């Protein structure tokens, strides 16, 4: 639903009467005074006030805290310290705080900056070298101190003991045995055991009133909608075991909220456990609800309808920025959450009111916002049948008086675990509460008055009509000048199911591909990239197609650019209108998984709209400067007939992109798809004709190497766009030069690569492994950009590889039309035989491999250890990942060794050191460099794709320099005075002067 439609009833539910508003403001003022007083107590509060998140120093400290404790080697630790401390201006903070400890820490940072800076005289450099261990120890101590402040305890016993301190008197705790989401089965088992042990530990002192919080994503490494049929029953069973133990110990257990795409799974699991007969009579069961979600109020109603007491913790929400990005990346119709902070506050208040009025809900209100707290107190009146909650280490001062003088309940959400593992969590919480729009951040801003702090969110949202934040466009408008392609929400269970059913049942008469599920040794006809189907044209057929395109060129070239661009936009619309059919071709002919098939259609549509937008600007005639009496104009014109040769791994996206670019530039096209995927190409051409491309301006030919050679060898071909192997690209390049009488023909080639990802010891292992799995094994490794060579710093190699092994074990290999499948079959028998023979030849160096179905062209995803990264000099186009290591301090040299392989398509770097990213940007000779993310999924217009060296010629597809390559440039100069004088010059009026 559109944001204004969702907010309209919420505004009425959250609105205060004038009398209530006056009382709330009065109460808020007192709470703010208590908060301000607390902010001036304790060195930590003052430290965070001094180094706020909108300062470079504050960001530097958080970045250091996020990574430092997980770095095992001193060399990288020193680089990280220098990177984060070296450029910040610590002197401006010297002596500014009321806290002597904060000022002392600041002076330490000032000295640290001097010690870690590289410039300076010889004495300073000497001190720098001598001082590194000192600085490292000091920073390590500071990071551990920050961890102690925001982590309740390293063990549950330590945390419970800390809750008995005087500063926590009157408060209870909800302990969270925190960690990142599970990436492996071992992770999940470890977290389950930690939760179970914590429940028993808390149960030893039930009168203390403490509880446990559980995160479902920590209990299952495949907590995904696509894995619903397995993960939901398994998680329901695990949660039931934990709930039963909590009931036996007579303590409360709350299920944390997570990303919105997991909401329905969470409710299914929570609801199933709520109905367990063995839990009847236990009133300690609960769940968290995030008010930033548009469905929050509906979830409150759902919880109240469970016919049992439910403890509901209402929170603002912890995944806002990542949810905004996911919605944009997936091209969904609208956001599942509110885009304005004030809208989230309105939703929170409306939900809070529902909770106070509910029959079966025992409310818990988690907030650090004084206005929110005062409003809830106003509505609750004299009731004490609810509690407040705050994060440990934050919001101190807000609740102390309410708890100790007024009899209210407040629970502290308390992370428990090792500081090394929890500092990344700490940083996320600090960022969440330090955002410019958050109350905690605003409270520390001396420029904001109390009146501004207590502005009514209902009035704020009513004033803008509940509209979306103007800086957050809908996904379809994300690209500005051209429309972003439409996605479908495959994280919606029914959408995914219906899509899978439609793909399976779509009639696809043009498919000529043998099934990949038949045993490759027995029944499947052998074929390779060089062999065509029975539909392949003979050489004279190719010649006839070129003749048609050649005859069509003059008329099509003379068609106005605006007309050609509009046709491409209609083509994009038709691709999306026929999305399910085209996805079916991608799944059943190219063996793509359902998400990859969707990406195929979206990329094709993006190419059409992007090139249409580019054409209107780039291809329009341009008037150039010159002397008076002369008109100079540059025109971009089509070259003639282009041959486009597309690969089977992106049989629609690349095929469409090549053709769309050539056509909108005014060329006619003879398009040859890969012999493995003629069906989807034929349907794409039909849709192009339906959009308005003349039938002879875009002609399809099918076949293998013979048809391709006939096409590129014809002297009427004015340009070639090719994606495929390096060897074939070279053969094409040679053929274009064979005939001395032939004009010089441009070749746009995008080929393969030995794509490397380099990981240092500052990288977050969970993020690295997730990106490695996606980059190496998605699409069965059959992407030009796929990760082929993982190079991990020696000191963390075993940690990364252990987690990688566990993550690989969870890969689902099978039918690509099954929503559960991660890895499908490879494209044909030739590819299967080549990959399996190589894999068997290096069996002694396998790090991990994965079981696959007994029949079919399934190459097991396999990680292979190299003795040296120089041992790999050939691309293996499948789910085979090679792993090597590198030494700390040798990043530049390692990148150069990858460069020396002479491929230059993609490269990845995982590091928290900004200087390392700068080194990679300056050194890596690749077309696409990806830092702290996966290496696949280039987006048209955002990440133009294409390589250099052995990986291609450029220009990059989906980029601003692509279309001109399809054109000739013609300059026209006209002497406008030749017919009797320069009229414009002679008619000038006298200027003032």
Q: Which helix (H) or strand (E) holds 506?
A: none
State the greatest distance between any 2 C-alpha atoms of the chain, in Å, as a whole number. 106
Alpha helices in 466-593 (DSSP H): 493-505, 539-558, 561-577, 579-588
What are the beta bridge partners of residue 401?
none
E strand intervals along 581-665: 622-624, 630-638, 641-645
Beta carbons of 112 and 138 less than 8 angstroms apart:
yes
Tokens of 224: 């995904």
> What's the Cα-to-Cα distance from 54 to each of 50, 365, 427, 449, rounded to whole Å?
11, 28, 14, 19
Classified as helix, coil or strand, 673 is coil
Please give the DSSP secondary-structure letter assigned to residue 989. P
Q: Which of 132, 750, 766, 875 is flagged as catalytic?
A: 750
Beta carbons of 363 and 314 less than 8 angstroms apart:
yes
CA angle 510, 515, 516 (to 5 degrees): 130
Phi, psi (degrees; rounded to nearest 5) at 285: -85, 140
Give the strands of the sheet with 967-975, arranged side by side.
Answer: 622-624, 630-638, 967-975
What is the distance in angstroms between the CA of the first residue and the CA of the last residue of the chain?
63
Q: Which of 784, 795, 875, 967 is flagged as catalytic?
A: 784
Count Cα atoms within 13 angstroms, Cβ side, for 819: 22
Q: What does 722-737 look like in DSSP terms, one character per residue?
A: EES-HHHHHHHHHHTT
- State the Cα torsion 780-783-784-787 to the nearest 10°: -60
Neighbours of 826 (CB within 10 A): 26
E strand intervals along 724-822: 747-750, 756-759, 789-793
Please say if 750 is a catalytic residue. Answer: yes
Distance of CA 288 to the CA centre of its chain: 25
E strand intervals along 137-239: 172-177, 211-214
472 burial level (CB within 10 Å; 0-12, 13-18, 19+): middle
Note the residue count of the chain. 993
CA angle 815, 582, 531 (to 5 degrees): 70
Nearest CA to 819 among 488, 482, 567? 488
Nearest CA to 645 among 631, 662, 629? 662
Please say if 589 is a catalytic residue. Answer: no
Classified as helix, coil or strand, 169 is coil
> What's the Cα-to-Cα distance from 917 to each of 257, 759, 892, 895, 920, rounded to whole Å?
34, 11, 11, 12, 5
Q: For CA atoms 139, 140, 141, 146, give the dihedral sign.
A: positive
What are the beta bridge partners of residue 202?
none
Beta carbons of 299 and 263 less than 8 angstroms apart:
yes
Neighbours of 854 (CB within 10 A): 7
| Strand 903-904 with 948-949, pairing | antiparallel
Nearest CA to 611 among 912, 944, 143, 278? 944
Beta carbons of 45 and 37 less than 8 angstroms apart:
no
Alpha carbons 795 and 888: distance in angstroms, whole number: 8
> What's the Cα-to-Cα distance from 812 to each of 584, 704, 808, 859, rounded to whole Å?
20, 32, 9, 12
> What's the Cα-to-Cα distance from 697 to each of 545, 557, 568, 722, rounded to whole Å?
10, 10, 13, 19
Catalytic residues: 750, 784
């Amino acid at each position: 639903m559109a944001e204004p439609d969702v907010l309209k009833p919420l505004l009425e539910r959250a609105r205060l009467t004038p009398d209530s508003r006056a009382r709330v403001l009065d109460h808020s003022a007192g709470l703010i005074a208590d908060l301000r007083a607390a902010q001036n107590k304790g060195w930590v509060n003052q430290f965070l006030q001094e180094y706020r998140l909108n300062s470079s120093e504050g960001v530097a400290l958080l970045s250091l805290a996020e990574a430092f404790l997980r770095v095992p080697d001193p060399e990288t630790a020193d680089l990280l310290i220098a990177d984060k401390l070296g450029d910040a201006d610590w002197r401006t903070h010297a002596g500014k705080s009321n806290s002597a400890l904060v000022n002392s820490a600041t002076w330490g940072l000032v000295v640290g900056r001097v010690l870690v800076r590289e410039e300076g005289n010889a004495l300073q450099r000497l001190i720098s070298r001598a001082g590194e261990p000192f600085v490292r120890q000091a920073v390590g101590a500071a990071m551990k101190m920050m961890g102690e402040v925001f982590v309740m305890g390293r063990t549950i016993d330590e945390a419970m003991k800390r809750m008995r301190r005087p500063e926590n008197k009157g408060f209870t705790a909800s302990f969270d045995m925190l960690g990142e989401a599970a990436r492996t089965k071992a992770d999940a088992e470890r977290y389950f055991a930690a939760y179970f042990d914590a429940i028993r530990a808390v149960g030893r002192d039930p009168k203390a009133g403490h509880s446990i919080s559980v995160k479902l994503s920590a209990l299952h490494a495949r907590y995904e909608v696509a894995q619903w049929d397995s993960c939901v029953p398994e998680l329901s069973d695990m949660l039931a075991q934990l709930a039963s133990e909590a009931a036996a110990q007579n303590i409360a257990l709350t299920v944390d909220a997570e990303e919105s795409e997991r909401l329905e799974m969470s409710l299914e699991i929570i609801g199933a456990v709520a109905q367990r007969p063995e839990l009847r009579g236990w009133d300690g069961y609960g769940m968290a609800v995030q008010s930033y979600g548009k469905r929050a109020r509906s979830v409150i109603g759902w919880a109240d309808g469970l016919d049992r007491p439910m403890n509901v913790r209402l929170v603002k929400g912890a995944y806002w920025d990542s949810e905004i990005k996911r919605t944009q990346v997936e091209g969904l119709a609208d956001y599942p959450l509110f885009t304005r902070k004030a809208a989230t506050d309105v939703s929170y208040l409306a939900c809070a009111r529902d909770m106070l009025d509910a029959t079966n809900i025992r409310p818990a209100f988690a907030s650090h916002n004084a206005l929110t707290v005062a409003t809830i107190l106003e509505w609750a009146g004299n009731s004490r049948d609810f509690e407040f909650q705050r994060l440990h280490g934050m919001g101190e001062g807000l609740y102390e008086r309410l708890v100790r003088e007024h009899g209210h309940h407040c629970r502290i959400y308390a992370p428990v675990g090792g500081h090394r593992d929890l500092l990344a969590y700490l940083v996320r919480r600090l960022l969440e509460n330090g955002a410019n729009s958050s109350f905690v951040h605003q409270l520390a801003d001396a420029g904001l008055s109390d009146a501004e702090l207590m502005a009514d969110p209902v009035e704020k949202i009513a004033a803008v009509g509940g509209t979306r934040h103007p800086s957050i466009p809908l996904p379809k408008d994300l690209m500005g000048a051209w429309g972003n392609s439409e996605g479908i929400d495959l994280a919606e269970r029914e959408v995914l199911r219906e899509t899978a059913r439609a793909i399976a049942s779509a009639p696809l008469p043009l498919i000529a591909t043998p099934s990949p599920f038949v045993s490759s040794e027995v029944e499947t006809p052998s074929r390779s990239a060089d062999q065509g189907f029975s539909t392949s044209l003979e050489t004279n057929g190719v010649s006839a197609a070129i003749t048609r395109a050649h005859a069509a060129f003059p008329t099509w070239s003379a068609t106005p650019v605006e007309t050609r661009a509009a046709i491409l936009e209609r083509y994009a619309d038709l691709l999306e209108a026929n999305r399910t059919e085209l996805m079916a071709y991608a799944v059943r002919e190219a063996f793509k998984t359902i998400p990859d098939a969707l990406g195929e259609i979206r990329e094709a549509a993006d190419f059409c709209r992007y090139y249409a937008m580019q054409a209107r600007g780039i291809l329009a005639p341009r008037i150039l400067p010159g002397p008076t009496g002369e008109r100079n104009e540059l025109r971009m014109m089509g070259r003639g007939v282009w041959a486009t040769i597309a690969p089977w791994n992106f049989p629609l996206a690349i095929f469409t992109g090549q053709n769309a670019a050539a056509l909108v530039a005014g060329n006619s096209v003879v398009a040859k798809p890969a012999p493995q995927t003629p069906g989807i190409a034929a349907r794409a051409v039909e849709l192009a004709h339906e959009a308005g491309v003349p039938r002879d301006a875009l002609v399809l030919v099918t076949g293998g190497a013979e048809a391709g050679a006939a096409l590129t060898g014809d002297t009427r071909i004015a340009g070639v766009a090719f994606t495929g192997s390096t060897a074939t690209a070279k053969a094409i390049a040679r053929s274009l030069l064979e005939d001395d009488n032939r004009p010089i023909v441009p070749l746009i080639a995008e080929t393969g690569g030995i794509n490397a990802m380099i990981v240092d010891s500052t990288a977050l292992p969970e993020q690295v492994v997730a990106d490695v799995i996606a980059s190496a094994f998605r699409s069965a490794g059959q992407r030009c950009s796929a990760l082929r060579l993982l190079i991990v710093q020696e000191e963390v190699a075993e940690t990364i590889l252990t987690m990688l092994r566990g993550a690989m074990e969870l890969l689902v290999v099978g039918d690509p039309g099954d929503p559960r499948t991660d890895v499908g079959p490879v494209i044909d028998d030739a590819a299967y035989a080549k990959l399996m023979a190589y894999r068997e030849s290096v069996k002694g160096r396998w790090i991990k491999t994965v079981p696959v179905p007994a029949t079919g062209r399934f190459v097991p995803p396999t990680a292979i250890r190299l003795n040296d990264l120089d041992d790999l000099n050939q691309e293996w186009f499948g789910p085979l990942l090679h792993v090597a290591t590198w030494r700390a301090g040798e990043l530049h040299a390692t990148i150069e060794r990858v460069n020396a392989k002479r491929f230059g398509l993609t490269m990845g770097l995982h590091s928290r050191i900004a200087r390392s990213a700068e080194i990679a940007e300056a050194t890596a000779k690749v077309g696409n460099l990806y830092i702290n993310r996966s290496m696949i999924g280039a987006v048209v217009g955002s990440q133009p794709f294409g390589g250099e060296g052995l990986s291609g010629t450029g220009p990059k597809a989906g980029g601003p320099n692509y279309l001109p390559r399809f054109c000739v440039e013609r300059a026209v100069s006209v002497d406008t005075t030749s017919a009797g004088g320069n009229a414009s010059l002679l008619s000038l009026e006298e200027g003032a002067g």
